[in-house]
Amino acid sequence: MSSSNDDVQPGVPAVETASMDAMVETERADPREELAKTDHDTELGIAMAEDAKRVSQGEISAEAYWEKYDAAAEQEFGDAYRETPNPSIESTDQTIDAGTADSLSCTIGSMESVACEIDAAESVEGGAAPEDRKARWGMVIDLQKCVGCDSCTVACKAENRTPPGVSYNVVMEEEHGEFPNVTRTNVPRPCMQCEEPPCVQVCPVSATYKMDNGVVNIDYDRCIGCRYCMIACPYGARYFDFGENYDDEVEEAGEITSPEYGVDRGKREDGKSPIGNVRKCSFCTHRLERGEEPACVETCVGDARNMGDLNDPDSDVAEMADSTRSFQLKESEGTDPNVYYLK
């Protein structure tokens, strides 16, 4: 500690690297105890973990690692091992190269595809009728936790790269009462992804429709831009893309667009959809599909926003949506939003 006295900054604890490592070491779970809790071989686990460290330090390659443990892993994990691509931290798709995988007669593919398959498998697993267990995405926003910082709005604009005048999420700020008895409520407003969506009902070309996972989709290749859905939406959640850009504020602002609804549309160009179309929050469908939370949920400083499967009665969101604090916006409209608020 004495050696680095010169670097001590006010308010910053003066802790040396060695002592920090020691703190980590005391917190770290004992590998043997952890592995003993599983049905699998402890010694194999320890050996693989030690070599995995060497892979991460660059001492051996991921391919060499898997060649070394191929036989042992098959013996231990059987078909599950053969059917899953072998992870590698060195390549962009996070799996070992195809040649090695082939010689080991293991499945070739990216880790992303593994995540998608697990997701799909989980959503149909369990329950007597698998088709009833489809996920219905829902959001629960705890108004007691919302501080009105608008970071959800900012995160949403950054994630979805929405143009000027389009903001899928806004925070509606309301003041109640008169001085000195004034309170303020912040109500974040994404798209409600209604179960009975008025926007879907009025679209003359069926360009907007409900997906199986509860999200209301917009097909930018079909939308004619009549804006009837904006008239019908009781939440003002829909925005027209007038074709404006942030070119003056940000260089190359339109170089990349967000792969909304999983479709990558490349550069933002005049006369190309979604310009001239109606746009709205998609619960970040493209993030949900790869197992991530929507940007607003991830960024929320007060952890006020929660995302999950409302069809799963054990999920946090389903429990919160059932609580006595729970309500929906404009319940009398009969739209039955999949966004719930906790008062």
Partner 1 sequence: MATDTSHFEFDPGFTDNRLRVAWYAALAVLLIVGGAAMILRITDGMASTNLTSTTPWGAWVAFYIYFVGLSAGAFLVSTLANVFGVSGMHRVDRDALFAAIISMVVALMFVWVDLGRMDRMFFPFIWRQLTSALSWEVHAYVAYIAVLVTELYFSMRIDLARVAERGSGLRARLSGLLTLGRRSTSEASRTTDRKWLTRAGILGIPLAIFLVHGGTGILFAVSKARPYWNSGLFPVIFIVSAVLSGTALVMMLYVLRTKLFDDEPVDRNLLNRLAVLLAAFIVVDAALTGIEMLIAIASLHPHEVETWAVILFGEMSWSFWWFMVGMGWLFPLVMLSKREWRETPWLMVLAGLSVVIGIIAVRFNIVVPPQILPVMKGLPHGSYFPSAVEWATSIGMIAVGLLLYTIGAELLPLTPLDRGDH
Residue 296 in contact with partner 1, rule: CB under 8 A: no
**Can you tell me which of 79, 249, 251, 270 binds partner 1, judged by CB under 8 A?**
270
Q: Segment contacting partner 1 (CB under 8 A): 57-65, 102-110, 195-203, 254-262?
A: 195-203
Residue 104 in contact with partner 1, rule: CB under 8 A: no
**Can you tell me which of 35, 114, 187, 253 binds partner 1, judged by CB under 8 A?**
187
Residue 198 in contact with partner 1, rule: CB under 8 A: yes
What does the alpha-carbon distance between residue 120 and residue 135 come to, in Å, rounded to a whole number?
A: 10
**Can you tell me which of 140, 278, 339, 342 binds partner 1, judged by CB under 8 A?**
278
Which residue, 15 or 147, has its beta carbon nearer to partner 1?
Answer: 147
- Strand ordering across the sheet containing 137-142: 305-309, 137-142, 339-342, 326-327
Residue 250 in contact with partner 1, rule: CB under 8 A: no
Within the chain, where are the H helices?
Answer: 17-27, 31-36, 42-56, 62-77, 79-82, 98-103, 111-124, 151-160, 198-202, 228-232, 285-288, 295-299, 316-321
And the tokens for 287? 């993030």
Residue 157 in contact with partner 1, rule: CB under 8 A: no
Which residue, 162 or 213, has its beta carbon nearer to partner 1?
Answer: 162
**Can you tell me which of 75, 330, 336, 343 binds partner 1, judged by CB under 8 A?**
330
Residue 239 in contact with partner 1, rule: CB under 8 A: yes
Site for partner 1 in 37-96 (CB under 8 A): none
Residue 148 in contact with partner 1, rule: CB under 8 A: no
The number of residues that bind partner 1 (CB under 8 A) is: 48
What does the alpha-carbon distance between residue 162 and residue 295 come to, in Å, rounded to a whole number?
A: 13
CB 147 within 8 A of CB 186: yes
Neighbouring-strand partners of residue 218 = 208
Q: Shortest CA distance to 55 belongs to which of 41, 44, 69?
A: 69
What does the alpha-carbon distance between residue 112 and residue 155 come to, in Å, rounded to a whole number?
A: 23
CB 234 within 8 A of CB 335: yes
Footprint on this chain of partner 1 (rule: CB under 8 A): 165-166, 170, 172-174, 187, 189, 198, 200-207, 222-228, 230-236, 238-244, 270-271, 273, 275-278, 329-330, 333
